[in-house]
Amino acid sequence: MKKITVVMLIAILAFSAVFMAGCGEKGTLEDYVNSDEEIQAEIQETADMYGFVIEVKENTITYTMKMEYEFTDEEKAEMVPQLEVAMDEMKDTFVEGANELKEAADVEQVNIMIVIQDAAGAELCSGTYQSE
């Protein structure tokens, strides 16, 4: 489970670095992304590299990771608490990423949403982390 959160962390930090290279204008994170083809390309590259679907809507960036397998209810009962613990351990890092995106896009608030799904698209775990 830690491997999943480490991959998410790497993707978020890599993506944040591209945002920091630009200078933001008032609006939304979505406006900022839509105004820069380099950032759009980086989003796609990051999504492809790590197997995420990355969506930016208003001031929320959502990273959706679909696992390769479907799980039984028993497996989910074991796995979900581990995923929740791993994501909670990464909270400070996700908040830091949200703070960097907030600064780069020059917006009041940024949310990073992490969603982990099984192969069928059923949500196993999710969390939303707000900038400070």
Q: Between the CA of residue 40 and those of 37, 43, 78, what are the distances in Å?
A: 5, 5, 37
Ordered structural domains, the chain, with CATH: 2-130 (3.30.300)
Q: pLDDT digits over 16-49, tens only? A: 544 544 444 568 999 988 988 988 898 899 889 8
The residues, any chain, with a CB within 8 Å of residue 74's CB and separated by 6 or more, are none
Helical spans, DSSP H, in 1-132: 2-21, 29-34, 37-50, 73-89, 91-105
Q: pLDDT digits over 70-88, tens only? A: 999 999 999 999 999 999 9
- Report pTM: 0.80
